[in-house]
Amino acid sequence: MSKLKVFLTVIPALALICIGAFFPKIIAKFLDIQNTGNASYNPIESVRLEIKTDIPSLGKLAMLSSMDSNITISESKANMTTEEVMEAVYSGLQPYIDSQLLTYAEYEVYMQPSLVQSSNNQNLQGIVWWVTISGEPSDYCFLDLAIDDETGQILRINYSVEDPTDNIGGLEALYILSDIYFSGLSMNYYENYAVPDLEDTYVGDNTVAIRYRFGDVVYGEVNVDMYVHEHGFYMEFPNV
C-alpha cells in the first residue's frame, strides 16, 4: 500500500517537471507559427548630430588641419540649406573679386555637407560644406571652397584659371589674399603670426608663398600656408 502511495506521489511530480521544462519551447513554437510571414519592428531612435557651436575660427582651422574623418551627411542634418550656402559663397567671394584676385564663370556647381572630425581631439568636429564651382570648358576656371555650416565663413579657398590676365599676382596678391581670408574669419593681427619657414623652401617657378603659424593652448599649433602662382592661388594646413 505504501509503495502505491509513493508511486502516485512521484509520477505527478515528474509530470510537472517535464511540463515545466518543455512549456517555454512549446510557447515559443506556437508564437513562431503565429508570427510567420508577419514583419516586426523595434523602435530605433533617430540619429542626431551633437555639434559644438562655440568653436572659434582658429579651432575650425585646427579641425581642417588635423581631420582624419570626413563623413558625407544628408542636407537635412546640416544647419544651412543649399540656397544659404550659395548666398554665403557669393558674399564671401565678393571681396576677392573686388580686389581682382579672381574672376570666374559659374557653369557647374557641386556642394555636399560633411561631418569633419579629428581623432586627436574629440572636441574638434563640425559640419563643412565642400563646394566646387567650374567654368565653361572653353574658358576654364575652378574654385574649391570649404564653407563652415555654422557661420557661412570660407574656411578654405583654392582657385585656378586658364587665362589669368585680368587678375593680379605676385607678392601683392599674396598679401591681399591673406588680408581678405583672415578678415573673413575675424582673425585680427594675423600678420603677427607670419613665419619665414617657406622663404628658404622651393615652391616652384612664378610662385610666392607665406606661412602663418598660430599657437593655442586648446587647439595646439595651426599652420596656414598660402601660395600664389601665375594661374591662381591655394592654401594648405600642414602639420609640421
What pLDDT, in 10s, does the model give residues 74-94? 999 999 999 999 999 999 999
Cβ–Cβ under 8 Å, residues 160 and 232: yes
Residue 16 reports pLDDT greater than 60: no
- Share the mean pLDDT of the chain: 83
Average pLDDT over residues 197-219: 87
Cell of 153: 565663413
Position 18 confidence tier, pLDDT thresholds 50, 70, 90: very low
Q: What is the pLDDT of residue 32?
A: 52
Residue 4 reports pLDDT greater than 50: no
The three-state secondary structure class of 117 is: strand
Residue 15 reports pLDDT greater than 50: no
Residue 39's Cβ-count burial label (10 Å; 0-12, 13-18, 19+) is exposed
Position 25 confidence tier, pLDDT thresholds 50, 70, 90: low
Residue 160 and residue 132: Cα distance in Å, rounded?
12
Cβ–Cβ under 8 Å, residues 82 and 111: yes
Residue 129's Cβ-count burial label (10 Å; 0-12, 13-18, 19+) is buried
What number of CA atoms fall less than 13 Å from residue 222's CA on the CB side? 22
Q: What is the pLDDT of residue 53?
A: 66
Q: 219: closest CA among 65, 74, 23?
A: 65
pTM equals 0.78
Residue 148 reports pLDDT greater than 80: yes
What residue has cell string 544628408?
74
Mean pLDDT is highest, among 26-40, 52-66, 69-83, for 69-83
Sheet strand arrangement including 232-236: 69-72, 108-117, 125-134, 141-148, 154-161, 232-236, 220-229, 208-216, 194-195
